[in-house]
């Protein structure tokens, strides 16, 4: 006889949305998944990824046991061992490497936000005596913005798209990348009788998100900084700024006026390829539609040299138009969730930043050159943050090492050896720039220990010494503030017990910590205990939390600065950044050409006449995930696509669906399938990122086809091309050529 079906209220974690789902469980197995109609944020919505979650979970290739390498790295020879044994061995090796080379010899790698317990990594490193040597895509994925905003106004800002009168989709494609936000926007756009929102799109590719735009600015890739400075020029010049706000709440306005004088519409038009009138009109539309907000996508984080300055200029735009923390503007987010004067425990309270000594902090890789995402800047910003919010300033997503430096350091051992690496929820062979260098580093004998925590045997896992199977969102509970970026908490319960010998990443860090003498710091036996600890101060029970799905503040507070000012050294929004100044950087924004461009490197144009963008999100896949056949997701997007204008394709003899090579001045080429569309600028192509092929041979040299269509074979990572503020590299606006593959 069948046992009873139970319904678990879980939260999906196939992307950053954490939609509420109902998981029907029978005999310990997931039988059915639907959206939770009562969920206060997602209201029953789930996307194709979640619809196929059962096939994903029970896919035969999912790892269920710990693996220890027995052949050479990348040879694909493994021995199955118990998880506990793997941990004993890893702890012993790590301990001996620590004794020999110091605790800084360990480097961690992490993916984009994929669980609610990344703080456990941060806690472990602080206790281990490591200076937060972490590589992750953060500095090319919003964490750079975060540190810039923290320096300038002491808070993260997020666009308030639900209430705004004008949204600028600045290099962002919510239709493919952020589905719940797209639904909000689409509802407002589609309201034909009473449409009360203007949309401005800044993007070389006019995607479906842009079809409803009031203005589309198809700029030359990588020239966003010039456009933003041009807007500031127009807004100040035409007196369209908010005088009262500027006088009362900003610092350095007169110096800003001086700086933007040179960014006339005429000059900006020459740089961006837009018409001067377009620049003036769009600046007016943005500045006169109050409230307005800027929905920045990830593309401006991926411009190398000028990235940080684009973000600085974006914050300035919000500030001078009085949109910072105004309803419908750029909302100051991430204040701890408080209900009736009681406060949810934030991620940062788990990190133990004070355990990291001054001497240790100084050892963080690259901290002397790329200063904004290191302890030096954190120490300036943190006291203001802590005074205002009453909680520690996060280490998570603030302290990140530039990947290109770390990869070089593994190989050169300068300034000190990196002997051990722990990679959790990340596939750097796919995401990191300059894949051949990543391969060299991860197969280098200098690296004596590499542990990967994963669901699948990926190209990165294949190069490890130990691969430990991770428990997924269906096998763990959730309490997420999105790493303190929001003022709410998403909750979800564990639907089933972890399959096989799978464990949450939290359990890995805890078990490793306990083996290395950190026992007293890991009191929570499981994640349920962590969730309970976090919500305990609110006086809400676990059951109630799960039932509610999301805890929200009683009301959304705006203009929070009116109470205590901005959490910056001057108490104001620093248009002229005293934090940048103190760190030795230009305090004001400026435009600089991308490291490789028709203007900076015209000598390359004969050979590489096209501008190459990489990335470009698409449904249903999430980064390098969901490539396995049989889940129902690869089936609907089986091949890597490069978007090309039909005119350009015509000249090259390329038809829709042809396989083509894309080649850059780095002398390497990859293949993708041509997708022709008039919506892209004729001299620009966009190649999808993160492509590997689980069906190909796993061992080197194929490594699951990790080098065939992977755009990071083509990207630039020379230290001189990185954003001087953050060390972020350039994934967009490079030069390339495209040609048809012969049969
Ligand atoms: N389906 C799906 N959704 C995802 C993800 C996924 O992998 N798949 N990843 C998640 C993650 S981690 C992130 S960071 C977000 C990113 O989400 P988005 O920020 O939307 O990222 P993209 O689609 O890569 O880029 C957005 C737009 O930038 C444009 N662009 C390229 N170069 C430039 C430029 O130089 N200037 C300007 N102004 N625009 C440019 C592209 O044409 C594209 O339309 O998506 C998240 N959501
Ligand atoms: N050229 C180019 N490169 C890019 C980009 C681009 O636009 N262009 N985009 C960049 C951006 S914005 C990002 S965010 C990165 C994405 O980089 P990552 O976030 O590292 O994404 P993935 O490469 O998919 O690797 C994530 C891995 O984690 C595993 N995983 C998922 N959840 C968990 C979990 O809870 N625990 C464990 N242990 N494993 C888990 C998945 O199976 C997957 O293999 O790529 C970056 N790289
Ligand atoms: S949008 Fe899709 S993948 Fe993302 S959380 Fe919601 S259901 Fe899951
Ligand atoms: Mo990202």
pLDDT (tens digit per residue) in 667-714:
899 999 999 999 999 999 999 999 999 999 999 999 999 999 999 999
In this structure, is residue 731 part of a structural domain? yes
Ligand 2 pocket mutation, candidates 690, 709, 717, criterion most atoms within 8 A of CB: 690
In this structure, is residue 464 part of a structural domain? yes
1 pLDDT higher than 60? no
Q: Do 382 and 531 reside in the same domain of the chain?
A: yes
Residue located nearest, by CA, to atom 23 of ligand 2:
427
% of the chain surpassing 70 pLDDT: 99
Q: Do 175 and 313 reside in the same domain of the chain?
A: yes
For ligand 3, say whether the CB of 17 is within 6 Å of any of its atoms.
yes
In this structure, is residue 485 part of a structural domain? no
266 Ramachandran zone, left/alpha/beta (phi>0; psi -120 to 50): alpha
- Give the 3-state secondary structure of residue 92: helix
Nearest ligand 2 atom to the CA of 142 is: 12
Ligand 2 pocket mutation, candidates 222, 456, 468, 624, criterion most atoms within 8 A of CB: 624
Q: Do 214 and 328 reside in the same domain of the chain?
A: yes
191 pLDDT higher than 90? no
> What is the average pLDDT across 341-357?
97
**Beta strand pairing call for 198-202 and 449-454:** unpaired
167 pLDDT higher than 50? yes
Joined tokens for residue 470: 């991770």
Three-class DSSP labels, 341-395:
CEECCCHHHHCCHHHCCHHHHCCCCCCCCCCCCCHHHHHHHHHHHHHHHCCCCCC
Measured from the alpha carbon of residue 594, the closest ligand is 1
Q: Band of the pLDDT at 193, cuts 50, 70, 90? A: confident
278-305: per-residue pLDDT in tens? 999 999 999 999 999 999 999 999 999 9
In this structure, is residue 137 part of a structural domain? yes
Residue 721, domain CATH: 2.40.40.20
Q: Do 261 and 321 reside in the same domain of the chain?
A: yes
Q: Do 315 and 386 reside in the same domain of the chain?
A: no
Q: Report the distance separating Cα 715 and Cα 304, nearest Å.
A: 11
Q: Band of the pLDDT at 2, cuts 50, 70, 90? A: low
In this structure, is residue 68 part of a structural domain? no
In this structure, is residue 52 part of a structural domain? no
- Say how many Å lie between the CA of residue 403 and the centre of ligand 4: 15
% of the chain surpassing 90 pLDDT: 97
Residues with CB under 6 A from ligand 2: 111-112, 114-115, 137, 140-141, 298, 302, 424-427, 430-431, 453-456, 458, 470, 505, 614-615, 623-625, 689-690, 711-712, 715, 731
Q: Do 132 and 192 reside in the same domain of the chain?
A: no
Q: Report the distance separating Cα 174 and Cα 227, nearest Å.
A: 21
Q: Do 419 and 539 reside in the same domain of the chain?
A: yes
For ligand 1, say whether the CB of 177 is within 6 Å of any of its atoms.
yes
For ligand 1, say whether the CB of 622 is within 6 Å of any of its atoms.
yes
- Say how many Å lie between the CA of residue 616 and the centre of ligand 1: 5
Joined tokens for residue 240: 């369209």
- Say how many Å lie between the CA of residue 13 and the centre of ligand 3: 7
Residue 394, domain CATH: 3.40.50.740
Look-up of token digits 């280490």: 395
Q: Do 386 and 437 reside in the same domain of the chain?
A: yes
608-662: per-residue pLDDT in tens? 999 999 999 999 999 999 999 999 999 999 999 999 999 999 999 999 999 999 9
Q: Do 457 and 376 reside in the same domain of the chain?
A: yes
State the pLDDT at residue 212.
86
Ligand 3 pocket mutation, candidates 23, 37, 179, 490, criterion most atoms within 8 A of CB: 179
State the pLDDT at residue 525.
98
Distant-in-sequence, close-in-space partners of 560: CB < 8 Å, separation ≥ 6:
325, 332, 335
Q: Band of the pLDDT at 375, cuts 50, 70, 90? A: very high
For ligand 1, say whether the CB of 310 is within 6 Å of any of its atoms.
no
Q: Report the distance separating Cα 592 and Cα 186, nearest Å.
A: 35
562-599: per-residue pLDDT in tens? 999 999 999 999 999 999 999 999 999 999 999 999 99
For ligand 3, say whether the CB of 49 is within 6 Å of any of its atoms.
yes
Q: Band of the pLDDT at 312, cuts 50, 70, 90? A: very high
For ligand 1, say whether the CB of 511 is within 6 Å of any of its atoms.
no
- Say how many Å lie between the CA of residue 171 and the centre of ligand 1: 7
Distant-in-sequence, close-in-space partners of 510: CB < 8 Å, separation ≥ 6:
120, 522, 524
Residue 287, domain CATH: 3.40.228.10
Q: Do 379 and 451 reside in the same domain of the chain?
A: yes
Q: Do 254 and 134 reside in the same domain of the chain?
A: no
State the pLDDT at residue 402.
98
**pLDDT mean across residues, the chain:** 97
In this structure, is residue 531 part of a structural domain? yes
211 pLDDT higher than 90? no
For ligand 3, say whether the CB of 50 is within 6 Å of any of its atoms.
yes
15 pLDDT higher than 50? yes
Q: Report the distance separating Cα 465 and Cα 593, nearest Å.
A: 41
- Say how many Å lie between the CA of residue 300 and the centre of ligand 1: 9
165 pLDDT higher than 60? yes
Do 293 and 328 contact (CB within 8 A), yes or no? Answer: yes
743 pLDDT higher than 70? no
The domain in which residue 438 lies consists of 82-141+350-472+504-548
For ligand 3, say whether the CB of 633 is within 6 Å of any of its atoms.
no
Q: Do 404 and 509 reside in the same domain of the chain?
A: yes
Residue with the bigger pLDDT between 743 and 455: it is: 455
Measured from the alpha carbon of residue 617, the closest ligand is 1
Nearest ligand 1 atom to the CA of 297 is: 19
For ligand 3, say whether the CB of 453 is within 6 Å of any of its atoms.
no
* Helix H or strand E encompassing 23: strand 20-26
100-125: per-residue pLDDT in tens? 999 999 999 999 999 999 999 999 99
Domain count, the chain: 3
Residue located nearest, by CA, to atom 30 of ligand 1:
171
In this structure, is residue 269 part of a structural domain? yes
Residue located nearest, by CA, to atom 3 of ligand 1:
177
Number of neighbours of residue 355 by Cβ within 10 angstroms: 14
Do 548 and 555 contact (CB within 8 A), yes or no? Answer: no
Residue 636, CB half-sphere, CA atoms under 13 Å: how many?
11
């Amino acid at each position: 006889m069948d046992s009873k079906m139970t319904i678990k209220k879980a939260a999906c974690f196939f992307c950053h949305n954490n939609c509420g789902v109902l998981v029907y469980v029978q005999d310990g197995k997931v039988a059915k998944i639907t959206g939770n109609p009562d969920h206060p944020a997602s209201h029953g919505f789930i996307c194709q990824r979640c619809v196929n979650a059962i096939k994903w979970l029970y896919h035969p290739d999912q790892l269920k046991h710990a693996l220890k390498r027995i052949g050479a790295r990348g040879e694909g020879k493994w021995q199955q061992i118990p998880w506990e044994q793997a941990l004993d061995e890893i702890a012993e090796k790590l301990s001996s490497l620590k004794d020999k080379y110091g605790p800084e010899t360990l480097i961690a790698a992490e993916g984009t936000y994929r669980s609610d317990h990344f703080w456990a990594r941060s806690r472990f490193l602080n206790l281990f005596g490591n200076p937060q040597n972490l590589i992750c895509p953060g500095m090319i994925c919003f964490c750079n913005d975060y540190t810039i905003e923290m320096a300038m106004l002491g808070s993260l800002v997020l666009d308030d798209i639900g209430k705004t009168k004008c949204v600028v989709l600045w290099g962002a494609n919510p239709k493919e990348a952020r589905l719940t936000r797209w639904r909000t926007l689409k509802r407002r756009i589609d309201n034909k009788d009473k449409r009360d929102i203007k949309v401005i799109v800044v993007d070389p590719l006019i995607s479906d998100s842009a079809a409803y735009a009031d203005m589309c600015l198809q700029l030359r890739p990588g020239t966003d900084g010039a456009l933003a400075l041009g807007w500031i020029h127009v807004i100040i010049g035409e007196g369209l700024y908010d005088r009262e706000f500027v006088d009362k709440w900003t610092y350095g306005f007169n110096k800003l006026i001086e700086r933007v004088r040179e960014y006339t519409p005429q000059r900006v038009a020459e740089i961006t390829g837009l018409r001067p009138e377009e620049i003036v009109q769009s600046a007016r539309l943005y500045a006169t539609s109050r409230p307005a907000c800027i929905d920045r996508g990830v593309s401006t984080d991926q411009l190398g040299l000028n990235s940080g300055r684009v973000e600085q200029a974006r914050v300035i735009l919000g500030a001078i138009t009085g949109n910072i923390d105004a309803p419908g503007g750029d909302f100051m987010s991430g204040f701890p969730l408080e209900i009736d004067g009681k406060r949810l425990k934030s991620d940062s309270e788990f990190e133990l930043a004070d355990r990291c000594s001054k001497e240790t902090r100084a050892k963080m890789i690259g901290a002397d050159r790329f200063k904004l995402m290191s302890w030096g800047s954190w120490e300036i910003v943190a006291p203001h943050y802590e005074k205002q919010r009453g909680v520690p300033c996060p280490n998570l997503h603030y302290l990140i090492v530039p990947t290109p430096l770390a990869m070089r350091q593994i190989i050169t051992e300068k300034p000190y050896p990196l002997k051990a690496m722990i990679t959790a929820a990340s596939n750097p062979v796919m995401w990191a720039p300059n894949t051949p260098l990543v391969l060299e580093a991860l197969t280098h004998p200098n690296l004596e220990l590499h542990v990967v925590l994963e669901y699948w045997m990926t190209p990165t896992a294949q190069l490890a010494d130990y691969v430990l199977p991770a428990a997924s969102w269906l096998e763990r509970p959730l309490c997420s503030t999105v790493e303190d970026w929001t003022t709410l908490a998403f909750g979800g319960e564990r639907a089933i017990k972890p399959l096989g010998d799978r464990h949450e990443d939290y359990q890995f860090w805890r078990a490793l910590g306990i083996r290395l003498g950190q026992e007293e710091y890991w009191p929570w036996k499981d994640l349920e205990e962590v969730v309970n600890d976090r919500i305990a101060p609110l006086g809400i029970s676990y059951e109630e939390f799960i039932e509610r799905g999301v805890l929200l503040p009683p009301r959304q507070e705006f203009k929070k600065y009116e109470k205590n000012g901005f959490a910056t050294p001057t108490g104001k929004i620093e248009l002229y950044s005293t934090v940048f100044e103190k760190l030795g950087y230009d305090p004001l924004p400026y435009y600089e050409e991308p490291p490789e461009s028709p203007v900076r490197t015209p000598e390359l144009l004969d050979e590489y006449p096209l501008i190459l963008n990489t990335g470009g999100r698409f449904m249903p896949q999430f980064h390098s995930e969901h490539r396995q056949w049989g889940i129902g997701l690869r089936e609907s997007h089986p091949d890597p696509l490069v978007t090309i204008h039909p005119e350009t394709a015509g000249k090259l003899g390329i038809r829709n669906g042809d396989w083509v090579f894309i080649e850059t001045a780095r002398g390497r080429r990859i293949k993708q399938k041509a997708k022709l569309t008039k919506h892209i600028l004729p001299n620009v192509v966009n190649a999808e990122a993160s492509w590997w092929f689980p069906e190909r041979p796993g061992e080197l040299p194929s490594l699951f086809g990790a080098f065939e269509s992977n755009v990071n074979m083509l990207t630039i990572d020379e230290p001189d091309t990185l954003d001087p503020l953050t060390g972020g590299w350039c994934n967009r606006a490079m030069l390339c050529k495209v040609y048809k593959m012969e049969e």
